Structure 1
Amino acid sequence: MALERATPVSYQLDWGTVKGLCWGDPSNIQVIATHGWLDNCHSFLPVANYWSPDNGGFLVLDWPGHGHSDHRPVGSYYHFIDYAYDLWHLIQQQDWQQVTLLGHSMGGFVSNVVAALCPERIQKLIVIEAFGLLVSDGANASDQLKQGFLSRRKLQTPRWRGYANLDSAVEARAAQADFSADLVRLIVERGCERNPDGRWYWRADARVKTVSAYRLPSSAVDDILEELTMPVIVVRGSDGYEKLEDALERWQDKVTNLSCVTLKGGHHVHMEQPEKIAELL
């Protein structure tokens, strides 16, 4: 089991602690993997089964407010750009060089941005079911701001629904998933904890569900993607994110060294085809 071979790691940032797991030498990080929204670093457990410690450290992180990482302080929120800052900050802080960024979904969008900001430190970028960014073109800016602000107010005192046991939490998550319950369980096992009342609750900060108050325009994404000088691989699930094809049509010409790989599976194709992802690494 990959989990038995993992080394727990934690990194102190200016607002709190980011945690994760590492396979191989934590002092020789070669890959930094980041998960999607409301998942946690266990989504990369299947890939870790195929990682050899001889290749250095394979680091998988819990985003702030997810998994075992700290929640942001009261009065702070979870805007996309703040995730990007945290990863960029961590790379600078640890002085990681020539690493591969591996990002799924939200983690892939964040990795796009971070790789563009410090391309000299990134050897390769692999984004799974993500490319470019979610943008604001054609949207009503004032309505976007208003909905974002209202959602922040609504989630000031958030609570998750409790479950009688872990199996019930797995069933609830699996009902919304396009991948097997066995794979869902991997995410739930790290993502839930048992409270003193005997019920199981998500560890994630419910504030991560707030609506984005603003998004960048596509012209800004043009500029960002043009800074990706390293090899970029986009991994698509055959039954995955429908809008990914639109993003590729819009921005693929902005990236000099871009290739695409389609694997059989859905949005969590990295969990369904972990050996193929390990080969790309």
Structure 2
Amino acid sequence: MSLFSELKLSVPWGHIAVKVWGSQKNPPVLCLHGWLDNANSFDRLIPLLPQDFCYVAMDFGGHGLSSHYSPGLPYHHQNFVSEVRRVATAFKWNQFSLMGHSFGGSVGGMFACMFPEMVDKLILLDSTPFLLDCNEMENILTYRRRHIEHMLQLEASQKPPRAYTSEELLQRLLSQNSHLNKDCGELLLQRGAKKVAEGMVLNRDRRISWPENSFDFMSKELFVQSARSLQANVLMIKALQGFYDVRRVHDEDRGPLLFMVDTLRSILKQRYQFVEVPGNHYVHMNTPQVVAGVISSFLQGLLPLSSQL
């Protein structure tokens, strides 16, 4: 499937950049990338999926080729959820499917609960529909304070982004994302960096460089209540060598994931599928053929084989 078009959707602070594969007359699938990634995250997966769908991969605000938020306007998880609604409005979709990797899955999950009638299928790639506060509650106020202080510091510094050579930038990305291979790192930088006189700089807004500026956490009680609102069929794909918590220090604690899987299975019943696959957090980029078959069957309404966690 060849790339059909690159579009810029107008928003009050500029534009949201999207990549479109296939005819817009086909059923739409909106693809949401992970934190600090961009729409190129899906370049290797989408050509392996059924061609009778229209796949739209968006850059979240402050990522990739999308506009940065206006000075003084902070980023919050809710903002990214609202961007999904803006994209759906721009394409005049009444109902569509969502496929999200990592952070994109949590944004998609929140949207599917807030606008349940609009989402018919939800695909979570090494992701969960929400982030639980199991290990975070005592730190929430600290995160919110740091969010404000970080934004004020960046506004006061007025320093231009640091420039690197192409190789330096690639090595920096790979050192910060040990699950990415070299080819996929280069693919993300094609959209996530640009040339300046001094070398290469990252496109992304520096205000999103800390996870607490973009993520949100919810209690188990709110998770259960939100899951009950889901009308979509849900496919959760868990990479066996992937991440289990947004904080690496808690990554051995699989309790929150088990709770979410059990809750979704109990509430959604036949509308929920859980599949474990070999690979790491970027399995959809590094070895997309591992997940393409499961996703294809799900999109086409076929029941994939479930693996028990």
- TM-score, scaled to structure 1: 0.89
Aligned to 1:37: 35
- The verdict on how the C-alpha distance between 1:163 and 1:112 changes in structure 2, with shifts beyond 3 A counting, is same
Amino acid at match of 2:97: T
Q: Which runs of 5+ in 1 are unaligned?
A: none
Distance 1:16 1:217 in 2: 34
Question: 235, 248, 256: which one pairs with 1:247?
Answer: 256
Aligned to 1:8: 6
Superposition RMSD on alpha carbons, in Å? 2.2
Aligned to 1:219: 221
SS at 1:184's partner residue? helix
Distance 1:163 1:141 in 2: 34
Is residue 267 from structure 1 mapped to residue 268 from structure 2 by the alignment? no
Aligned to 1:202: 202
Q: Which runs of 4+ in 1 moved over 4 A?
A: none
Aligned to 2:305: none
Is the Cα contact below 8 Å between 1:132 and 1:247 reproduced in 2? no
- The verdict on how the C-alpha distance between 1:227 and 1:74 changes in structure 2, with shifts beyond 3 A counting, is same
Aligned to 2:300: none
Aligned to 2:113: 116
Which shifted more, 101-110 or 207-216? 207-216
Which shifted more, 154-163 or 199-208? 154-163
Which shifted more, 95-104 or 34-43? 95-104
Amino acid at match of 2:278: K
Question: 253, 272, 292: which one pairs with 1:278?
Answer: 292
Is the Cα contact below 8 Å between 1:26 and 1:59 reproduced in 2? no
- The verdict on how the C-alpha distance between 1:27 and 1:16 changes in structure 2, with shifts beyond 3 A counting, is farther
Question: 70, 75, 78: which one pairs with 2:75?
Answer: 78
SS at 1:71's partner residue? coil
How far apart are residue 75 of structure 1 and its match?
Answer: 1.0
How far apart are residue 144 of structure 1 and its match?
Answer: 3.2
Q: How does 1:125-274 map to 2 (within 5 A)?
A: 125-136=122-133, 138-156=137-155, 157=158, 159-164=160-165, 166-177=166-177, 178-195=179-196, 197-210=197-210, 211-212=212-213, 215-243=217-245, 245-252=254-261, 253-254=263-264, 255-256=267-268, 257-274=271-288
Is the Cα contact below 8 Å between 2:107 and 2:129 reproduced in 1? no
- The verdict on how the C-alpha distance between 1:158 and 1:217 changes in structure 2, with shifts beyond 3 A counting, is farther
How far apart are residue 219 of structure 1 and its match?
Answer: 2.4
State percent identity of aligned pairs: 22
Question: 91, 97, 106: which one pairs with 1:100?
Answer: 97
How far apart are residue 26 of structure 1 and its match?
Answer: 3.3
How far apart are residue 159 of structure 1 and its match?
Answer: 4.2
- The verdict on how the C-alpha distance between 1:218 and 1:144 changes in structure 2, with shifts beyond 3 A counting, is farther
Q: Which runs of 5+ in 2 are unaligned?
A: 246-250, 297-309
Is the Cα contact below 8 Å between 1:33 and 1:102 reproduced in 2? yes
- The verdict on how the C-alpha distance between 1:262 and 1:117 changes in structure 2, with shifts beyond 3 A counting, is same
How far apart are residue 141 of structure 1 and its match?
Answer: 4.4
Distance 1:246 1:129 in 2: 16
Distance 2:24 2:272 in 1: 29
Distance 2:159 2:81 in 1: 24
Amino acid at match of 1:182: D
Distance 2:32 2:159 in 1: 25
Aligned residues between the structures? 276
How far apart are residue 95 of structure 1 and its match?
Answer: 2.8
Amino acid at match of 2:219: P
Which shifted more, 40-49 or 171-180? 171-180
